[in-house]
Amino acid sequence: MYKIPVNFALLKKFNGYKPFLYNITTDACRVLKYPKSNPVFGFFHSLFAHHSNMNHSCPFNHDLILDKLPADFVNTKFTKILPFPVGDYLFDSKWIVNDINRADVQVYGTLS
């Protein structure tokens, strides 16, 4: 896989989940090769890069695994490094390979 369009959006719960700050589509292969090309994607990738085998540039010819991502690590990123207001959030991403939607990832969380 050499070209992987990915769309990710951050939503906050306001009487239902509404778009909040980010809704970005980018080529994951390009950003993994040139991390400074999209700092927002780089920030979200940094959340799981050390806990995943998605830690190199393309091609990917294996399953992608996210394992043992500590909640404290994510909390620190969202409260100390990039302060977010308290509330319920949804991180929604869509991963497309060969023009086929291969993965929809939805992660729900609460900052309090």
What is the DSSP code (8-state) at residue 98? T
Alpha-helical segments (H) within the chain: 28-33, 39-48, 71-76
Q: What is the per-residue pLDDT across 23-42, written as a single tens digit (0 to 9) for each?
A: 999 998 888 888 888 888 88
Name the residue among 80, 25, 27, 73 with its Cα closest to residue 49. 73
CB 17: neighbour CB atoms within 10 A? 17
Please tell me the distance from the alpha carbon of residue 63 to that of residue 5, in angstroms, as a whole number: 17
Contact (CB, 8 A) for 89 and 109: yes
Which residues have a Cβ under 8 Å from the Cβ of 85 and sit 6 or more positions away? 12, 111
42-94 pLDDT, tens per residue?
887 777 777 888 767 787 777 777 788 777 877 777 777 777 888 999 999 99
**Residue 4 — very low, low, confident or very high, per pLDDT cuts 50/70/90?**
confident
